[in-house]
Structure 1
Amino acid sequence: MDKNTKQPKNLDEIYKSIKSYGYYQMFFLAVMQYSCWIEAGNRAIESLGLLIPTYKCFDKNLEFELNSTQIHLNASNACRLIRACQNLTLEKAWTSLHEEFEWFCESESLKSTLPSLLPFAGLLSFVIAGHVSDYLGRKWIIISGYSIQLLCGFLEALAPNMGVYMGIHVIKMFARNLSGGAAFVLAIESVHSKYRLIQAFGFQFSIGYMLAGLTCYLTGHWRRQLLLINFLGIPLLFIKLLKLEESPRFLIQKQKYAE
């Protein structure tokens, strides 16, 4: 304790004056699991959304059956056949982006360029997340990033084509990793050092993916899944806005001891 200012000088002194692991830390753990569910529901589109159905044509002069393997081997020919068929049926478990946008019909340059932007956006956001959260605070980076994620989720559900969807998804990836990086830091800095491993386990997606699987089963369509999971994520935004507390470490750095 600084005798002149009577203010704590480091995190150890902060945690001597508050509970090491109390109701707020347990609340934070629950909020992280809620976040993981919403995140898992959005990430499901990245796998289920790319499923390719089996196409069967029963025209008088054209009959064929194309599965995902055959389409990948010769996408241009598959595209020509599918678009030429008048009596086309599909065998599918889920209505995907591939089916609706016929992504395999797009040029190879577009199919390779857009997905390659995703890891770049993710890497960039992780690199700057620490610096930005040190300047603006962990809480507001989490809230702003999550808000952008929700907005992008709704916009993705309304995307008219795959190019627009992927462009929105790149922005969403950037915001997601920016928010996620700040959230992990806030989780670790909100507990005593001996409880940090427990708090870090809050970023587990096991329950989230199980719940996401349920919503995917109930919706059966990539657009409905995005609309539902992001609608369910709206209450979480207000929970974070009203109940989330700033990192003690950040407050000490900014000399905001009263907070």
Structure 2
Amino acid sequence: MHLDEFLKVVGEFGPYQKRQYVLVCLVSSYAAVVIFSLVFFSVAPEHHCTIPAAYKELSQKFYGKNVSEEKIYNMSIPWVEGKNGIFERSSCFLISLKNYENNSSIGNATIPLNTSVADAFEQKFSVDNQTFEACPEGRTYSQKTYASTIVSEFDLKCENEWQISFSKSMLFIGKLVGDLLSGMVCDRFGRRPTFLVSMFLSLVVGVLLALSPVMAVYTTALFILGFLNPFYYLSVFTLGLEFTGAGKRNITGFVLHIFFGVGTFYVVLFAYFIRNWRHLALAMFSPCFLFGIYWFLLPESFRWLLSRGRTEEAKKVLNKVVEVNKAEVEEGLVASLLDGIEKPSKTTTDTATALDMVRTWRRAVFTLNICFNWLVNAMVYYGLSLNVESLGGSLYLNFILMGAIEIPAYGSLVLIIDRLGRRKTLFFYMVTAGVACIVSGVLPYELHWLIITTAVVGKMCISASFGVIYLLTPECYPTTMRIVALGTASAFGRVGSALAPQVILLQEIMTSLPFIFIGVMSITAGILSLFFPETVRRKLPQNTAEFDELLRSPIFRTEKHELDKDSSNELLDLKKDPRREKSDVSI
């Protein structure tokens, strides 16, 4: 008897699983807080070069002591053409004083009728070729909208702007390292202790980030937060999946991602009222201590306990499932189930590694395709999510739209994923996301509303595809390899996440190039997803033999996988007589 068949008897997603899943979903929302709070930490207020005293004195020389601020700006800050073809004051350069020192008089310039000498002087140097210099005294940042951000506090614009994208990339590089290690740690020490320890450390590092005295400390704290993220998120995601029966796995997976989107509302709510980034960081990370109550509420995965040979502990959890779900089964069902499970040998309790994912050519090709899809999904998802500021308009409204669209994205999955299957659904959403990104990139700036609309459509589709790949991956790999596989694939996703802030820099070559690039990558990954095996209504593979059998299944033919007649009869027999002769039992 398979554990999925046992859950079909006692409840695939009964009251017990629902209670645990509420706890898991709260963790999913917190994971979004860690990532998307960066948008508001690093928002750039309006700014310009700090005007040195020499420029003010020069302006007073020509305009008098009561010279207006506008006149001082005209003589100090050059006008440059912006990215959208609109002229604006430069935020990174001043007109060099040498322009004025070498031209102390207007010379032979013709002064128009009714124009003062000072105005003619200003006009001459606003149209002639000028030499510029970088801000010698740094920049002045407006506090009209934001009291303080890392950009204004650490002066991160112009020549220092690279530090913003670098710090974001370091968060995802930390997630990359964490993904590579979290699988082995979770499989070695268990889902529950891994979650609790990593969550406590996240609280400590989050407070450290809020108190960062310099950019180096801030960036280091982001790296550590990224490193810890997979330990608590992947552990509870896998735990929630392993508590659920095969018939409900899609719903539970989507609920997790919906709560990830809900986490963005938490971020924007606090960010709207807290405009100081340090205070905002404390508001984001301090509530993490509340997860300490999970010590008393969150149980260990019974699948993991059985895979490690800890039968007595698994028995307690399974009995609790039967009790809370109020399943009408004969006494001794759990004992009968466990009696049929042989105690795992040392070989079966050894922790799997990423090498086991590529030991055969079928595994290697499949794993490479999975990892590429994760990389592209993450690059497109975070490329859109972390750069909402570049869309223009209200940052808060854009952020809400980008977060809210994830709810219908995952809602649509519930309606179609079992009908179309994992593979076709993934193909549809990734190709549509790619087309939307390309269209958003090539539209003229005058169609601003359409640019935002297509970007939101792209975010909806890539969010949905992320939900599919997150569900498909653990469904394909066996229990002994599942969280290692999820961690490894997620690590490639972090490579894509780390690349996302750098890909946006392609706009320096051509404004639409970043969106065209991620769009083409999304379409390519969507086409390759057609080569995945279909897992809809399949049992979770428990060992490498079942995994290899799955990879040998037909690719371009969707099969319906139901419990066979013998399995159904076995379920009925167990309800009547759980103490019948032992049968083969899988975990």
Q: What is the TM-score normalised by the length of structure 1?
A: 0.80
Render the CA deviation track for 1:203-248: whole Å, top value 9, x for unaligned: 332221112211111222211111112222221x223221111111
User: Residue 256 and residue 15 in structure 1: after superposition, are their counterparts in 2 closer, same or farther (change >3 A)?
Assistant: farther
Of 205, 222, 229 in structure 2, the residue corresponding to residue 169 of structure 1 is: 222
The change in CA–CA distance for 1:19 and 1:230 in structure 2 (over 3 A counts) is same
> Hey, what does 1:97 align to over in structure 2?
150
| Aligned-partner Cα distance in 2 for 1:98–1:181 | 32
Which of 46, 49, 55 is residue 54 of structure 1 equivalent to? 46
Please tell me whether the aligned partners of residues 170 and 222 of structure 2 are also in contact (alpha carbons under 8 angstroms).
no
- Within the candidate set 11, 17, 35, 1:25 is matched to 17
Distance 1:241 1:255 in 2: 22
Larger deviation: 129-138 or 12-21?
A: 12-21
What CA deviation, in whole Å up to 9, does each residue of 1:66-95 have, x standing for no partner?
999854799x96553535x7xx74443463
Match of residue 39, structure 1, among 19, 23, 31: 31
| 2:269 match | 214
CA distance in 2, matches of 1:228, 1:12: 41
Partner residue in 2 for 1:233: 288
One-letter amino acid of the structure 1 residue matched with residue 152 of structure 2? E
Counterpart CA distance in 1 for 2:147 and 2:31 is: 20
Q: Specify the structure having the higher radius of gyration (Cα).
A: 2
> Are 2:182 and 2:231, in contact at CA under 8 Å, matched by a contact in 1?
yes
Whole-Å separation in 2 of the counterparts to 1:92 and 1:43: 22
Distance of 1:15 and 1:49 partners within structure 2: 45
Report how far residue 115 of structure 1 moved. Answer: 4.8
- Contact 2:192 2:298 survives alignment (8 Å): yes
More displaced 10-residue stretch of structure 1: 215-224 or 155-164 = 215-224
Q: Is the 8 A contact 1:215 1:225 kept in 2?
A: yes
State the match for 2:136 in structure 1. Answer: 80
Deviations 1:109-161 (A, max 9, x none): 86676554433322221122221111000111111121121111111001101
Cα distance in 1 for partners of 2:167, 2:222 equals 10
1:258 — aligned with what? Answer: 312
Q: Distance in 2 between matches of 1:77 and 1:119?
A: 35
**Aligned-pair CA distance for 1:100:** 1.1
The verdict on how the C-alpha distance between 1:228 and 1:116 changes in structure 2, with shifts beyond 3 A counting, is closer
Alignment match, 1:135 = 188
Q: Which residue of 2 aligns with 1:155?
A: 208
Distance 1:143 1:164, change over 3 A: same
CA root-mean-square deviation? 3.3
Relative contact order, higher structure (CA 8 A, sep 6+): 1
In structure 2, the CA distance between the partners of 1:72 and 1:191, relative to structure 1 (3 Å rule), is farther
- Which of 276, 279, 293 aligns to 1:224? It is 279
Q: Number of matched residues?
A: 246
Matched, 1:249 2:303: yes
**Contact 1:141/1:179 (<8 A) preserved:** yes
**CA distance in structure 2 between the aligned counterparts of 1:208 and 1:135, rounded to whole angstroms:** 30
Query: Which region of structure 1 is more displaced relative to structure 2, 11-20 or 180-189?
Result: 11-20
Counterpart residue number, 2:389: none
Identity %: 24
Equivalent residue of 1:103, what SS? coil
1:128 aligned partner, one-letter code: L
Q: Counterpart amino acid of 1:249?
A: R
Residues of 2 paired with 1:79 and 1:240: CA distance?
Answer: 52
- Cα 1:255–1:196, aligned 2, differ >3 Å: closer, same or farther? same
Instruction: Specify the code of the residue in structure 2 equivalent to 1:242.
Output: F
Uncovered stretches (5+) of structure 2, i.e. residues with no partner: 58-71, 84-89, 95-131, 314-587
Q: Does the CA-based 8 Å contact 1:33-1:208 persist in structure 2?
A: no
Provide closer, same or farther for how the CA distance between residues 22 and 80 of structure 1 changes in structure 2, counting only shifts above 3 A: farther
- Structure 1 position 32, deviation (Å): 2.9
Cα distance change, pair 212–77 in 1 and its aligned pair in 2 (3 A): farther
The corresponding residue for 1:5 is none
For the 8 Å contact 1:50–1:97, the answer to whether it is kept is yes
> Offset at 1:253?
1.3
Contact 2:45 2:142 in 1 (8 A): no
Tell me the equivalent position of 2:535.
none
Alignment partners' CA distance in 1, 2:312 and 2:247: 25
Q: Any conservation in 2 of the 1:79–1:104 contact (CA below 8 Å)?
A: no
Deviations 1:140-194 (A, max 9, x none): 1111121121111111001101110101110110001222122211111111111
> Compared with structure 1, are the counterparts of its residues 174 and 35 closer, same or farther at alpha carbon in structure 2 (3 Å cutoff)?
same
Alpha-carbon shift at residue 13 of structure 1 (Å): 6.1
**Corresponding residue to 1:181 among 234, 255, 261:** 234
